[in-house]
Amino acid sequence: MEQWNPHGYFISNGPGDPSVMEYAITTVKKILAADKPLFGICLGHQLLALACGLSTYKMHHGHRGLNHPVKNLVTGLGEITSQNHGFAVSEKDIEKNKEVEVTHLHLNDNTIMGIRLKNKQAFSVQYHPEASPGPHDSRYLFEEFVSMIRKNEMKVAI
Share of the chain above pLDDT 70, in %: 94
Residue 38 φ/ψ, nearest 5 degrees:
-135, 130
pTM: 0.92
Q: pLDDT class for 3, splitting at 50, 70, 90?
A: confident
* Rounded distance between C-alpha atoms, residue 93 and residue 95, angstroms: 5
What is the rounded CA–CA span in Å between residue 36 and residue 46?
Answer: 18
**3 state SS of 85:** strand
Q: Using the predicted structure, report yes or no on whether residue 146 has a pLDDT greater than 70.
A: yes
Give the span between the Cα atoms of 55 and 66, in whole angstroms: 26
Which residue type is seen at 117? L
Q: What 3-state class would DSSP assign to 74?
A: coil
17 has a pLDDT exceeding 70 = yes
Report domain 7-157's class. Answer: alpha beta
The mean pLDDT of the chain is 91
Tens of pLDDT, residue by residue over 95-143, are: 888 999 999 999 999 999 999 999 999 999 999 988 765 667 888 999 9
- Residues belonging to the active site: 42, 128, 130
pLDDT at 22: 96
